[in-house]
Structures are given as C-alpha cells and as structure tokens.
Structure 1
Amino acid sequence: MPFAVYALGLAVFAQGTSEFMLSGLLSDIAADLSVSIPAAGLLTSAFAIGMIVGAPLTALFSRNWPRRRALLFFLCVFAAVHVVGALTPGYGLLLATRVVGALANAGFWAVALVTAVSMVGPEARARATSVVVGGVTVACVAGVPAGAALGGHWGWRSAFWAVALVSVPAVFVIARTVPAGRPKSTPAPASVELRTLAGPRLLLTLLTSALVQGATFCAFSYVEPLATHVTGLASGWVPGLLALFGLGSFIGVTVAGRLVDTRPVAFTATGLVALVTGWTGLALTAGSPSATVALVLVQGMLAFGTGTALISWVFRLAADAPTLSGSFATAAFNVGAALGPWLGGLAIGAGFGFRSPLWVSALLMVLALGTAGAALGMGRAADRGRDGIAAV
C-alpha cells in the first residue's frame, strides 16, 4: 500500500475528529459565546449540510486540477478555518467557519477517495478505501475523546487548535508523496460523468449507503441515554462505549479492506443482513449490560465494514465517472449521518423511549436490504442481457 494512502487517512482522521468532536464541547461553546445549547448544536448541523452540498460542488470545482494541488488546497483551507474558529470571539463567525470547513472537508474526501483508488491496482481498491475511511474510525476511537478531554482541561478552543495542528503533518506528507501531475487519463466531460451517476443501479447503491449510515448514526447518536436510562450503566461508562464502537468500526474497515475485493457480493449481503439482526437484537436486549457492550462493538464493526464495501461498489459501478463518484459517495455518507439522528430524535420525541432509535435503525436496514436487492437484481439482469448478446 503506498505511503500516500496512509497520509490521506491521517488527514481524514483530523477531519473526522472535527466533524464529531462538538458533541463533547457544546456546553462550553454555548457558555463562552453566550448562546443556547441548541444554537451551539447547529454548528454540527451546519457541518453536515456543508458536507452534503459541498461534496459534488467542490468536486466539480476542482475536477480539472492535479489531485495533489486539490488535496493540499482543501486541507490547507480546512486547517486555516480551524485556526480562525479557535480565535473567533463570536458565534456567527464560528458558524461560518464550520460551513467553510465542511466544504473543504467534502472536497478533500471526494478527491482523496479517487486518489487512493487510483494509486493501487484493481485487487487492492477496497483496501485503499478502507485506509481512508479508517481515518474516521480512528477519530471515533481516539480523536473525539481526546477533543473532549482537551476541551475539559483547556477550553473548547484548544480542540480546534489540535485539529489544525494534526492537519499540518498531513499537508507535508501529501506534498511529498502524492504525484504532482494530472491523472494519466483526461477526465470525461462533467455531463458524461453526471449521466453515469444518474444510472438507476448506482443511485440505488448510493441510497443503500445513505440508509446504512442513517441506521448507524441514528443509534450512535443516542448511545448515552440508552446506556444510562435503559441499560442502567453509570455515565462514566459512556466514553468507553463510544470508544468501543469506534474500535469495532476500525476492525470493520480493516476486515472489509481485506475481503471486499475478492468477495464483494457475499461480504456486502452478509453485512446488511447482520446489521438488521444486530440492531433488532440490541433493541431487545438493551437492558442487559453485557449484551449492550458486546453488540455496540459488533455493530460498529458491521456498520463501517459494510459502509466501506458500499463505497467500493460505487467506484465499481461508476468507472466512467472517476472524478465525481467519490463526491457522491461522500454525500450519501453524510445524508445518512444527518438523517439518522433526526429520525431517532423524532422517535424519542414521540414518546417511544430511548430504545426507539434502535428500532428505527433496524427499519432503515430493512429498507437498505430492499434497495440493495433491487440493485443486485438490475446487475444480474444486465449480465444476462450481455450474455444473450454475446451468444447471438
């Protein structure tokens, strides 16, 4: 695996930490900037919306740039807005930095996925994807808890400084290891790539990815009230549960990187079915501490392993749209990350209790099974059609 791929993973680690770390800093930000906690929570929503909108827009903006230049531009902007965020005296400017940071993050993600895949052979594409996505899982295990710890000791601004500092070595390594030239093949016109991405099988795969992430973040966002109000664990267990979920996620993307390239259909189908079973099982057994601890680890592994496999499927199906496919995969991921917590919150607000997000996650996975089955059926029909033409 080229060292440059690991540098991309380091940058994604910094960006993933930024995306999720505010969950442990909201009270401090609200008190320091004299805003309500819900207003501080909008900083997270603004980042998610910026990722969804920014992924395709920034990919179109930079599609004719050399990939190293695009990666360095987006990463430098991302680091710079965190410096501004750490220094800002007001809420409005901090909100603006979150939007700009999300746009830069989305652009980096889109280019990084394409760059990682292009630097390895077809037999290692899923592994390269898993290294990049693995940066997010390491952020869940280490970056987010570390950000919360920094905020508790030195204030929320120290977490923003830390994200900017972690980005610096990634800038230098990317500048030294990612090839400077343009891709060997000239990108297809944007209209051609957009037509490829509008194919029904690819759209169903993207929808499946969004549903899987929606299920993941619906449950993940409400681990704290589930653990303390349903499972009966003390609040001190919550950071450990979150880290355990992140550890499972890291294991999942690592395993996916080893197996998806050789058994893509079997791996993805098994992951989808197991996720339905796992979220249902956790909803039924959430009152048991041992079951909750075990299933949090397992579900993290299944969710991110299957998510990595689906990103690999996007690249397989969008071979004629190499520039924009990464941006659409990024957007689908973040649609789920924004939709899941909202749906879980609606279920809790309707009075269904703190287990209800788990049932919502199970329902989202049933829908994901349906969309994945439809996409697979289209693929088999297309294969039969090609075989028939070849026979004639």
Structure 2
Amino acid sequence: MLALALGGFGIGTTEFVTMGLLPDIAAAMKVSEPTAGHAVSAYALGVVVGAPVIAALCARVPRKRLLMALMVAFSLGNAATVIAPSFATLTLARFVSGLPHGAYFGVASLAAASLAPVGQRAKAVAAVMLGLSAANVVGVPSATWLGQHLGWRDAFVVVTVIGIATVAAIARFVPELHGIRLTDPRTELGALRRSQVLLTLLVGAVGFGGMFAVYTYITTTLTDVAGMRLGLVPIVLMLFGLGMVAGNIVGGVLADRGVDRAIFAAMIAMIVILAGFIAAAHNPYTAAVGAFLIGASGAALAPGLQTRLMDVAHDAQTLAAALNHAALNIANAAGAWLGGVVIAAGLGYTAPAAVGAGLAVVGTALFAVTVLIARRPAAKA
C-alpha cells in the first residue's frame, strides 16, 4: 500500500506544484499567468487521453508490470519538463507527464481493493489516494518553496526522483496481483456502454471543477486579495493538503457506509465552502481556513466516485477506474480555463470561487439524476 501511495505522492506533487509555481513559470517563459495556466490544462488533458487509451490497450498486461511501466513513463515526462526550452515544449512535456496518471490510479485502486478485507474496499482505495493528499501536505509546499528559491525547474527534478523511487518500491514490495482478472480491450471498452458509468464520470468532470478553478490561481489570490506575504503561501498550500488528507480519510469511511450518501455530502459541502470563499479570500486567516476546507471537500468526493465506478462497471473495472481520473482532470482543465476566463475578463481573483460553486451545484444536480435513473426498475433489470 505504501509503495502504491508513493506513486500517488509523486503524481499529486507534479499536478499541483505547477499551480503553486504558476507566477514563476509565467515570468520565466514571458507569458501571462492565465496563459501559463494552459500548462495545467495540458497535464489534465494528458490524463484524459492517457487513461482510456492505456487502460484499454494494456488490458492483458500483468498489473504489477503495468504499474512499473506507467511510473517509468511518468518519470520521463517530468524529466522533459525540467529541460523544456520554451513554453510550447513545456506544455507538450506536461501533456506527456499526464498520460500515465489516470491509468496508474485506476490500476492501483483495483490492486488495493483486491487486497482489502471485505467491507473495506473504499478505505483501501482511500489509502492509495492518500499519497495524492499527502503530496499537498509535504510534496507540493516543499517543491513550491524549492521552486521559488532555486528555480521552478528544480521542483520537477524532485518529482522525477520520486517517480524513479516508486518504480523501485513497486518492484520490491507489490505482489504479482493475480487476484485481478486480466481482460481484453473489447471488454474494457464495454464500460462506455453503461449509462451509470458515463453519468458518474460526468458528475466528477463537472462537480470537481470548482476546486481547481480556485486552486489554480491560489498563489495570486493569497498575495493580491488576502494580502499575504509570498513566503507564507507554501504554508497555506500545506493546509490545503492537510484538508485533502482529512477529506480523503473521511470520504473513505463514509463511502464504505453508503457510496451515494457520501458523494452527496461531499458535493453539498463543496457548494457551501466555495461560495463562502468569495468573502473569505479577503482576509489572510479566513483564506487559509478556506483553503483547508476546499481541499477537504474535494478529497472527500474522490473515494466515493472511485468506488461507485468500480461497482457499476462490472467486468470493465480497469477502464472505469482509470476514467475516474480522466474525468477529474477534465474538471482540472475546465476549472483552470474557466478561472482564467473570469480573471482575464477583469472580474478579479475571487471570481473563480463563484464559478466553482456554480459547477458544484450543477454536479450535485447531475448526481441526483444519476441516482434516480439507477433506481428505476428497468435499470435494475
């Protein structure tokens, strides 16, 4: 479990540190901050493309071998980020770095669930996701501090080293995972014919966007709106990560008790917190608390969505589990883009929180429709 979580730690660090270093990347590459946000979107789009393609084409590959190969590709993509000479090549490197993301979390989640005791699958999935959450406590603040003081490229050197360490850890500690049945591309692609799979993915793609709309521009929000010193930003990023850890643990526990109720609870909490952040962002103390709560509500949603997808996918669990992270990164790309749009329109750095609350409302409504459809007698038959 720790070896699998280490991969999540590396992935979480590379995904979120870009947001923390966005002003530095924009200055170094001589582009505006909203334009630099395209690097965030490029990574997210890499996840969206890579998750279904890799999950389907590699359906017959033994799972331990696949996990190692995905982390090798992840390390190479981040190494390319370090040496990127222009913003165009940086954007391409971020896209490549994102390709293994969804497939890794999908396979790792299935591996954890297959090894878990009965009735504790969501907790096992949350344990893997805990690496992603822990990245925002330790990895992202540390890499952000390093990038601000030594140069943004050094942050991605650290991520590359974590990726290499994960390959070694999986090789040494993860069993061969014979309990996960290998399928074939046709079986895996069958998940795309299941309405509950598609609707649950849509909920994640829309509802999760609010967190990313705010977090992508969190550095400038804290310094320009809340009046916080730049040196204190890594501390708030750490609070965001602590919120993700707490939300991830609570979300796993709640999902084992009732998946649908856990998802509803997380979505409603996200609406309230993002709406409140519009006012909270104007004070450094309330902004810090708001960052913690945004991280908690977002992370609480992930175990429930992941577990629900594995339940409704039946024999196409690998693709469904991987597509969950594709959906979340569609939310990442859309949230970053929409946040940039309202900022570029002159609405200020609190406007992304309003956009995020709206996305969470739409996501909650979509999930209500999804649950109602699932309960129809025809759907059950």
1:279-302 Cα distance to aligned partner (Å, 9 max, x none):
222224443444333232222211
**2:216 corresponds to:** 221
Within the alignment, does 1:276 sit opposite 2:271 as a pair?
Answer: yes
Q: Is residue 348 from structure 1 mapped to residue 343 from structure 2 by the alignment?
A: yes
Is contact 2:263-2:304 (8 Å) kept?
yes
The answer as to 2:26 corresponding to 1:6 is: no
Whole-Å separation in 1 of the counterparts to 2:112 and 2:350: 39
2: distance between equivalents of 1:359 and 1:91? 30
Give the structure 1 partner of residue 97 of structure 2.
101
Tell me whether 243-252 or 271-280 shows the greater mean CA deviation: 271-280
Q: Are 2:39 and 1:76 aligned?
A: no
The answer for the alignment partner of 2:237 in structure 1 is 242
CA shift, 1:16, in A, is 1.7
TM-aligned CA distance change 1:383 to 1:182, over 3 Å: same
1:58 shift after superposition: 1.0
Equivalent residue in structure 1 for 2:19, among 19, 23, 31: 23
Q: Is the 8 A contact 2:207 2:364 kept in 1?
A: no
AA matched with 2:175: P
Q: Does 1:196 align with 2:191?
A: yes
Pair 1:384–1:213, CA change in 2 (3 A): closer
1:49 is matched with: 45
Q: Is the 8 A contact 1:147 1:159 kept in 2?
A: yes
Letter in structure 2 aligned against 1:264:
V
Letter matched to residue 218 of structure 2:
V
Distance of aligned partners of 1:208 and 1:174 in 2 relative to their CA distance in 1, 3 Å threshold: same
Q: Match of 1:115?
A: 111
Instruction: Find 1:368's aligned residue among 357, 363, 379.
Output: 363
2:257 partner SS: coil
TM-superposed deviation, 1:173:
2.1
Q: Out of 297, 309, 325, which is 1:314 matched to?
A: 309
Preserved contact between residue 213 and residue 307 of structure 1 (Cα < 8 Å): no
Assess if the C-alpha contact under 8 Å between 2:275 and 2:354 holds in 1.
Answer: yes
Residues 275-329 of structure 1, C-alpha deviation per residue, up to 9 Å, x if partnerless? 2122222224443444333232222211111222122211121122112112211
Amino acid across the alignment from 1:291: T
| 2:141/2:235 contact within 8 Å kept | no
Judged with a 3 Å threshold, the aligned counterparts in structure 2 of structure 1 residues 271 and 46 are, in CA distance, closer, same or farther, namely closer
Gaps spanning 5+ residues in structure 1: where?
Answer: 387-392
Any idea what SS the aligned residue of 2:315 has?
coil
Decide whether the 8 Å contact of 1:148 with 1:159 is kept in 2: yes
The answer (yes or no) to whether the contact 1:197–1:321 under 8 Å persists in 2 is no
In the other structure, the counterpart of 1:175 is 171
Output the CA distance in 1 between the equivalents of 2:26 and 2:345. Answer: 27
* CA deviation after TM superposition for structure 1 residue 122, in Å: 4.3
1:236 deviation in Å?
3.8
Give the structure 2 partner of residue 332 of structure 1. Answer: 327
Query: Which amino acid counterpart does residue 360 of structure 2 have in structure 1?
Result: M
CA shift at 1:136, angstroms?
Answer: 1.8
Unmatched tracts of structure 2, length 5 or more? none
Change (3 A) 1:262 1:383: farther
Give % identity.
33
The residue type paired with residue 161 of structure 2 is L
1:74 positional shift: 1.2
Report the residue type matching 2:343 in the other structure: I
Cα distance, 1:296–1:196 mapped onto 2, change above 3 Å: same
Pick aligned residue for 2:260 from 260, 265, 273: 265
Can you list the C-alpha shifts for 1:89-143, whole angstroms capped at 9, x where unaligned?
A: 5666554433332213333223222222222244121112112222222222221
Please name the residue that 1:389 is paired with.
none
Aligned 8 A contact 1:66 1:183 in 2: no
Name the TM-score, length of structure 2 as normaliser.
0.89
CA–CA distance in structure 2, aligned partners of residues 344 and 152 of structure 1: 23
The answer as to 2:145 corresponding to 1:149 is: yes
Is 1:254–1:305's contact at 8 Å kept on the other side of the alignment?
yes
Higher Rg = 1
How far apart, CA to CA, are the structure 2 residues paired with 1:310 and 1:63?
22
Q: Is the contact between residue 214 and residue 339 of structure 2 (CA under 8 Å) also seen in structure 1?
A: yes
Give the direction of change, closer, same or farther, for the CA distance of 1:284–1:162 in structure 2 (3 Å limit). closer
Shift in Å, 1:37: 5.4
Q: Is the 8 A contact 2:61 2:182 kept in 1?
A: no
Q: What is the distance in 2 between the residues matched to 1:63 and 1:49?
A: 22
Q: AA paired with 1:102?
A: G
Provide the aligned C-alpha RMSD in A.
Answer: 2.6
The number of residue pairs the alignment matches comes to: 380
Q: Following TM superposition, by how much is the alpha carbon of 1:225 offset from its aligned partner in structure 2, in angstroms? A: 3.6
